[in-house]
């Protein structure tokens, strides 16, 4: 199992559990808390993989060939 499967799988399963608990109000509160936990963990793992913005200035001269 790859890491992306774990990240997006926990996110999607958390969403489905929360939607299920909203549609059927007789469901258990602990199931709703578990779905919220999976959703938050999935979002954390996905956002952890997003890197910082590169420090490249698109208007700066990258080489001397561009100046000529």
Tell me the pLDDT tens digit for each residue of 28-60: 889 889 999 999 999 998 888 777 666 776 677
- Residue numbers of the domain that contains 23: 3-49
Instruction: Give the separation between CA 26 and CA 34, rounded to whole angstroms.
Output: 16
User: Does 30 map to a domain?
Assistant: yes
Whole-number pLDDT of residue 54:
66
Instruction: Give the separation between CA 44 and CA 54, rounded to whole angstroms.
Output: 21
User: Does 19 map to a domain?
Assistant: yes
Taking 70 as the threshold, does the pLDDT of residue 18 lie above it? yes
**pTM score, whole prediction:** 0.68
How many separate domains does the chain show?
Answer: 1
């Amino acid at each position: 199992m790859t890491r992306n499967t774990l990240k997006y799988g926990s996110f999607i399963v958390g969403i489905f559990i929360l939607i299920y608990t909203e549609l059927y109000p007789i469901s258990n509160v602990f199931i709703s808390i578990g779905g919220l936990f999976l959703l938050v963990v999935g979002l954390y793992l996905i956002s952890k993989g997003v890197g910082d913005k590169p420090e490249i200035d698109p208007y700066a001269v990258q080489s001397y060939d561009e100046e000529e």
